[in-house]
């Protein structure tokens, strides 16, 4: 008789029944499978948002550098195209823009023929460049293409 009492007491103190334990284990397994299915997609979305932000920042930095260089090139005191190229490279934040890729051209009138820089007062100064944007995925997968960015601006010379 004492062995029956011990068995009943053990089953009462052991917690949930076998059915409840299986349901709890099944719920944990289901959550693990759902996490395994959803987490790669979530990670891909986060990385794509970060990459889109980097691309937008690079395009804006390139445009800012070229616009700043165009304003400098349109000033009456600027007589060397090298100064304009260096200004564009210095103001294109974090891009490491090569100054030799910046083209500085003067025109006698809007849509007119090109003349040697700096040109007379009233001429049009055009500053343009292109830049190759490397995505983070390019470093992990070297075969992926890079993204070309371009910027251009025109100012009337003082």
pLDDT digits (tens, 9 = 90+) for 33-46: 999 999 999 999 99
What pTM was computed for the model? Answer: 0.78
* Range 90-104 average pLDDT: 94
Q: How far apart are CA 70 and CA 152, in angstroms?
A: 9
- pLDDT-derived band at 140 (thresholds 50, 70, 90) equals confident
The token pair at 30 is 């289901």
How confident is the model over 109-138, as a mean pLDDT? Answer: 92
pLDDT at 141: 83
Q: How far apart are CA 73 and CA 1, in angstroms?
A: 105
Coil, strand or helix: which one is 54? helix
**What's the rounded mean pLDDT across residues 104-127?**
93
In this prediction, residue 74 carries a pLDDT of 95
Which of 52-61, 82-91, 107-116 has the lowest average pLDDT? 107-116
Q: What is the pLDDT of residue 28?
A: 81
Determine the pLDDT at residue 30.
86
The average pLDDT across 85-101 equals 94
Locate all alpha helices (DSSP H) within the chain, ordered by sequence: 2-13, 18-74, 81-91, 136-140
Distances (CA, A) of 32 to 1, 19, 22, 26, 29: 45, 20, 15, 10, 5
Q: What's the mean pLDDT in 4-26?
A: 61
Please check the confidence at residue 84 and state whether its pLDDT lies above 80. Answer: yes
The contacts of residue 63 (CB under 8 Å, 6+ apart) are: 151, 153
Q: Diameter of the chain by CA atoms? A: 116
Q: Mean pLDDT of all residues in the chain?
A: 87
């Amino acid at each position: 008789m004492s062995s029956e009492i011990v068995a009943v007491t053990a089953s009462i103190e052991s917690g949930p029944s076998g059915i409840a334990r299986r349901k709890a284990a099944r719920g944990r397994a289901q959550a693990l499978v759902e996490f395994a299915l959803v987490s790669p997609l979530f990670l891909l979305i986060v990385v794509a948002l970060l990459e889109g932000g980097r691309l937008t920042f690079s395009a804006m930095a390139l445009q800012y550098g070229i616009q700043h260089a165009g304003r400098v090139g349109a000033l009456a005191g600027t007589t060397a195209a090298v100064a304009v190229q260096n200004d564009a490279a210095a103001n294109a934040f974090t891009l490491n823009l090569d100054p030799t890729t910046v083209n500085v051209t003067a025109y006698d009138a809007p849509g007119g023929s090109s003349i040697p820089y700096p040109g007379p007062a009233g001429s049009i100064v055009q500053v343009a460049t292109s830049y190759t944007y490397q995505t983070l995925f390019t470093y992990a997968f070297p075969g992926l293409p890079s993204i070309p960015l371009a910027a251009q601006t025109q100012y009337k010379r003082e």
